[in-house]
Amino acid sequence: MISTALARRLRDAGLRWRPASGDRFQIDRAEFDADVFTVSDLTIEAHEYSTGTVLGFNGTTEWALDSVELDDALWLPREDQLRDLLRASFRGLRRTADGYIVTIDLDGEGREFESVSAPEAYGLAVMAMLERVTA
């Protein structure tokens, strides 16, 4: 799983989330920092309204929380989702003694992104692509 800090950077750089079953997220408030939730058709569903998307907590009696607006949720994309975001620019993932390196083609040159976890390395590569688009 990627770090909360990287998830925030990705969101702030323009990465948008369309919630689907199996997606993980945090409620982006200090009192929920340690809690990770999973969108599920049974317990947490994404409800689309004309005013925006709301994540509904169905039958969660232990929470005094019925729903949360999408803007208050922080998506924690999975490794496969991050790899999919790289699309055709993805060149490879390799393991090193200290972690993982993701290689992508960015503006015609190979760029490497290293981290202790594969999802975080993928996230750094996605971040570089988003920064290139917004620059």
The pLDDT tens digits along the chain (135 residues) read: 899 999 999 999 999 999 998 999 998 888 877 889 888 776 777 888 888 888 877 665 445 556 678 888 999 999 999 999 999 999 999 999 999 999 999 999 999 999 999 999 999 999 999 998 876
Residue type, 93: L
User: How high is the pLDDT of residue 59?
Assistant: 61
- CA 17, 79, 21, 27 torsion: positive or negative? negative
79 phi and psi, to 5 degrees?
-55, -45
Question: CA geometry: angle at 64 spanning 59 and 68, to 5°?
Answer: 80
Residue with tokens 């982006």: 28
The H-or-E segment that residue 115 falls in is strand 109-115
pTM: 0.83
Q: How is residue 106 written in tokens? A: 């960015």
Query: What is the enclosing helix (H) or strand (E) of 102?
Result: strand 100-106
